[in-house]
Amino acid sequence: MNILDKIIIDKQREVVLKKSIIPVSQLESSVFFERKTISLSQKLKESNSGIIAEHKRRSPSKSIINNNFTVEEVVKGYENAGACGISVLTDGKYFGGSLDDLILARASVNIPLLRKEFIVDEYQILEAKAHGADLILLIAAVLTRDEIKSLSEFAKKLGLEVLLEVHNQEELEKSIMPTLDMIGVNNRNLKTFEVSLDFSKQLASKIPDEFVKVSESGISSVDAINELKPYGYKGFLIGENFMKTDNAGNAAKDFIKQLDK
């Protein structure tokens, strides 16, 4: 069993437990539930840099990345740096995140927030909306086509955008549907944790133009982004590269400045 399989088994159990104590009606009564969301796909189309900066304390592959910042410090730094949006990890066991991180981020900034999570159930999409997210992530590797369809349709009904993550052509082909806004290619193989920009390059021409193309993981230099832009990528999700520094916001600002030159 690989790490992704383990994460999904744990996530399914977690959702069952949460459902037993927090009813849907409680989520729907959140002050954020009627809030108009901000479009990340639109911001990426209009941006020169396309940076989606990530708040990420740790990961299964790297263990602790950085526990020294508050959520507020990180996300305000990212917003001031000119990031198009912010990805907030909410998985606790493997990434050290929580829904509290999402709600604190929402209270701190006014740019699009992605709930970065292993979504397997509509309940988690309700949680995302109730905690101030503007969009959700769906991972093709752990969902069937029917699940992607029903979960993305549910998200759209709530006014949330959908970023669909793929790793190969098979996942891409089973996933393409009109209820997606962005398609992200993860340069990290979630089963082996091998990283290569070739994943993004190989799949670029297979992604229909109506979807905003996003490259995720393993992007640590301006050169890497300049290498990917000719392939049609408008969004670049970067977390570790900023979070491993002494000041994630300043690191993002320096990075974006170089891109805007």
What are the residues whose beta carbons fall under 8 Å from the beta carbon of 33, sequence distance 6 or more? Answer: 27, 129, 130
Catalytic residue (one of 217, 234, 240, 241)? 217
Which one from 165, 200, 234, 240 is the annotated catalytic residue?
165
- Told to judge if 56 belongs to the known catalytic residues of this protein, a careful annotator would answer yes
3-state secondary structure 45-111: HHCCCCEEEEECCEECCCEECCCCCCHHHHHHHHHHHCCCEEEEECCCCCCCCCHHHHHHHHHHCCC
Which listed residue (47, 49, 54, 152) is catalytic?
Answer: 54
216 catalytic residue (yes or no)? yes
Catalytic site includes residue 116: yes
- Using a 10 angstrom Cβ sphere, with 0-12 exposed, 13-18 middle and 19 or more buried, the burial of residue 216 is buried
Residue of 216, 240, 241, 253 with catalytic role: 216
- Catalytic residue list contains 153: no
Catalytic residue among 11, 116, 129, 253: 116
**Smallest Cα–Cα separation from 97: which of 11, 167, 226?**
11
DSSP codes joined into one string, 171-203: HHHHH--TT-SEEEEESB-TTT--B-THHHHHH
Whether residue 140 contacts residue 166, with contact meaning beta carbons closer than 8 Å, is answered with yes
- Told to judge if 54 belongs to the known catalytic residues of this protein, a careful annotator would answer yes
Among 41, 47, 49, 56, the one annotated catalytic: 56
Active-site residue, 241 included: no
Of 175, 186, 187, 241, which one is the catalytic site residue?
186
CA separation for the pair 243, 208 (Å, rounded): 32
- Is residue 240 annotated as part of the catalytic site, yes or no? no
- The catalytic site residues sit at 54, 56, 116, 165, 186, 216-217
